Structure 1
């Protein structure tokens, strides 16, 4: 039965936390410099959360949130949390951090939220999780919502980021995958979740090449030789961030391919900006797949079909009326704002318990 208020138990941690970004984002609305509290909802990021409250008594709680990345906890601690939740007939939720993450097995009463990992390799207690983002559209452009663009005869394909055909860079990325697999082998040589040899900057560049050869689309590409154009100063970061979001704003579709980990930050940034992701699926675990029909929000391209990506986006675009094109843009912004936000995720957890 769904109660009006969801009471959340969060275990005490050290109050001298150096960076609150280390915390599981669903716990941040309740964090203060003195520990967990219901008086900390001062940030505009946490508005309208009156239906959710912290309790320090697990017997009162409907749900247990694990505050730090689950992969920082020893197995014994996870066993303890699982047993406590079983005893109190509640579920624990936490997140697995990092590009590669960990496969921590199955716990009956613990749900693992994660951005990365491979859907076909993971158990049912692993759930996709959106990349946490603040509303950069409002911050940069000073409006509540983007104005959707009308459909043009030729789709505008956008991309701003790290993409390179350099074999040296490709080898460097593959060596990272080999290093990760060696770590996994020495930890447990019987495991089956090996990281594929994937050089993200090289693979993106190959896909972008397919678009540059066509007269049926318009390209809006900014190639970076380094992540965030190698920005070092605050001034450089501000400049490149604005260039990045302007690139999305001035495009119809934005190429979204995995990076070092098997997830795309750009997917969520594109939704935030009210544009349409051109999403290349590499066995990704997307958030709330039982609640969100992702194929209504993106141009979906399976990795095995990537060589046909140009034809797929042209076909998708040509089949839309102007009203349908506008509606997708509006719905994508709405999806990010209402469902993939902290409040939206809390609501989904509340409905599941």
Structure 2
């Protein structure tokens, strides 16, 4: 597949801010097929950069969609319509702003609400290094055998404080006020959601159940407020040990309507308890997500312990082991940059 990427100011750009699937073609002097990045990302020669848009099968928008004006997006859409190809871009940040519908532009994003966005908005996975291999120096996960009661894990920011709840609400109110003054009759206002407060309530539901065992570490701040490298190393190990030593891990949205923990749990070969808050999940036309998670709709959250206990009771021992292996495989082989390009090729 030939890929066109427009030129940018390579001297001023931080490559980490670029759309991750453009980075294999990045060099400090311009887009190239000879980049060291390409081999680092394990991208095959089936994917080649071209500087001639007339030869390209797809147009990759390198910088976050949030940094482009509407007129710039209109121009990109017009160019792609003339060439009869699609442009693919990435919406960064937590909030789920609607950037409009363009016939020839696909917006990948982690945040946003599925029911509120047009079909040209698609879910995108969180990009992660393989922390399992890095921390534990292993290729294969240690699978857990099925015990009588499921062990439910969580390590992270969860706080029942009403003061913190109101602070989180205030953040969303400020964002919605900004949107109101830009365009009052828009439909993409952010619902008020106090993530730390709501997580704590979910964890308490598990703690009150005699059908499960809990393995929870409550943090008052993001990453336990770690400031030094030593503190970050310690809390990171505690975080991944918590996932490793659990059967299931509670995964619910944070400030944005997506869960980084979902992908970290898959990476570790464990089973996410995915609380769906109208999320955009990646490649849901290819991936049957309900085969990889215990799925709980937000409206059913008060029954979450019962849902997980019933799932655990009904799953066969061999299927419990298989699900862990398949989840690690899904993260490693499907949600990588190499395979994201394959999905895009198939989709267009």
TM over 0.5: yes
The aligned residue for residue 40 of structure 1 is 35
Relative to 1, partners in 2 of residues 1:44 and 1:277: Cα closer, same or farther, differing over 3 Å? farther
**CA distance in 1 between partners of 2:53 and 2:329 (Å):** 34
Question: What does 1:23-172 correspond to in 2, within 5 Å?
Answer: 23-42=18-37, 45-172=40-167
Aligned residues: 348
Aligned to 1:348: 343
Task: Return the offset for 1:42.
Answer: 4.3
The answer for the alignment partner of 1:298 in structure 2 is 293
Unaligned runs of 5+ in 1: 1-5
Residue 211 of structure 2 contacts residue 306 of structure 2 at CA under 8 Å; is this kept in 1? no
Cα deviation code 1:118-150 (max 9, x no counterpart)? 100000000000111111111111111312111
| TM-score, length-scaled by structure 2 | 0.98
The whole-number CA distance in structure 1 between the counterparts of 2:202 and 2:12 is 42
What is the CA-CA distance between 1:14 and the residue it aligns to? 0.9
Structure 1 residue aligned with 2:202: 207
Root-mean-square deviation (CA, aligned residues, Å) is 1.1
SS of match in other structure, 2:284: coil
Q: What SS class does the counterpart of residue 92 from structure 1 fall into?
A: strand
Alignment pair present for 1:179 and 2:174? yes
Alignment partner, residue 260 of structure 1:
255
Distance 1:144 1:40 in 2: 27
Is 1:200–1:259's contact at 8 Å kept on the other side of the alignment?
yes
Deviation at 1:198, TM superposition (A): 0.7
Tell me how far apart the structure 2 counterparts of residues 305 and 25 of structure 1 sit (CA, whole Å): 35
Q: CA deviation at 1:15?
A: 1.3
1:327 alignment counterpart: 322
1:287 aligned to 2:282?
Answer: yes
Q: Quick one: distance in 1 between partners of 2:169 and 2:72?
A: 34
Aligned to 2:189: 194
State the shift of 1:211 in Å: 1.1
Could you tell me whether the CA contact under 8 Å between 2:25 and 2:38 is conserved in 1?
Answer: no
Render the CA deviation track for 1:148-199: whole Å, top value 9, x for unaligned: 1111111010000000011110000000010111011001001012111110
SS of 1:32's equivalent? Answer: coil
Aligned counterparts of 2:15 and 2:105: Cα–Cα separation in 1: 23
**Worse-matched range after superposition: 14-23 or 159-168:** 14-23
CA contact (8 A) 1:71 1:102 kept: no
Q: Which residue in the other structure is 1:3 paired with?
A: none
* SS of match in other structure, 1:131: coil
Between the aligned partners of 1:159 and 1:85, the Cα distance in structure 2 is: 45
Kindly provide the CA deviation profile for residues 55-79 of structure 1, in whole angstroms up to 9, marking residues without a partner as x: 1111111100000001110111111
Helix, strand or coil at the partner of 2:235: helix
Normalising by structure 1, report the TM-score: 0.97
